[in-house]
Structure 1
Amino acid sequence: MSRTACLTVAAGVALYGASCFVVPGSAPRGAPLMNSAMADVELAFSAPAPESASTSAFSPLAMGLALGLLAAVLGGRPALAADLENGESIFLGNCAACHAGGNNSVRAEKKIKKEELITYGKYDIGAITTQVTNGYGAMPAFGEKLGPDDIDDVANYVYNKADKW
């Protein structure tokens, strides 16, 4: 719900910005105030005025920019520090066989619940990332199998889930 509200607000701001965009110099100008002597001198020394471009406030460039921004906002995934949804799917696909429910089926005392992570100095996203990347003991290294973003996501998932298991 909140993502939809944010996207709606962003789209509204983008369209409002596009509708308010006016190219400098395109606004209609009033005639300068001058007396008749000044007008005669001005006419004698001035070249014919070029035809002015459209005085419309519509700008195709601004409209294209607004539509591009709107497409990026609606079509793109939000840039989050960690994607917990992706972390959960990676955990279920690679880690849950040994660590289902925060337990450890290989070494029962090495659970990934908060208390055990604190005991072994692993209740830190950096420590969990290192463990997942390099492995340790019976745990295999996933640094070659998973990309850095996926490892960060699963480490954040484990860290956020550790106190709930």
Structure 2
Amino acid sequence: MPELQRLRPDHAPALLAFERENRAYFAASVPDRGDDYFTHFDALHAERLAEQAEGVCHFHLLVDPEGEILGRFNLVDVEDGAADLGFRMAEKATKRGLATTAVRRLCTLAATEYGLTALHASAALDNTASRTVLTRTGFAPTGEEVWLSDRPGLRYVLDIARRS
């Protein structure tokens, strides 16, 4: 069974492979990271680890028993008991309920380990899979419309205290 792991330095090679292998798939539903992300991956990975050490972000990977990364699940911009959730799954790992399970686990970690009381997320209107994961895990649309690159989307919120 895949395990949700906190981002570590030794994840770098598998994470870069995950991002490269799924870049075109991701670009169909979420904003592309751009070429600079891949060119400067090592420095960006170090920056993410520093942000995590400071407590302003919490990065997680869904890793299979062989060490292959199946998904990313991040809590970013931690402030005043809240954070923004972002996630992406490898194409080959979709439609198995893994994202829903990982988001539920991350919501528990957000409350018990990180002391958060609310999570926010955004999903493009045409990203049915992400919107489904959000609603299945208790997120509710706020009615606020957002733009994700060139795609219209909706903002979601989860009151973790109420969920528990």
TM-score after normalising by structure 2: 0.22
Q: Which has the higher contact order (CA 8 A, sep 6+)?
A: 1
Which structure: greater helix fraction? 1
TM-score after normalising by structure 1: 0.22
Q: Bigger radius of gyration, 1 or 2?
A: 1
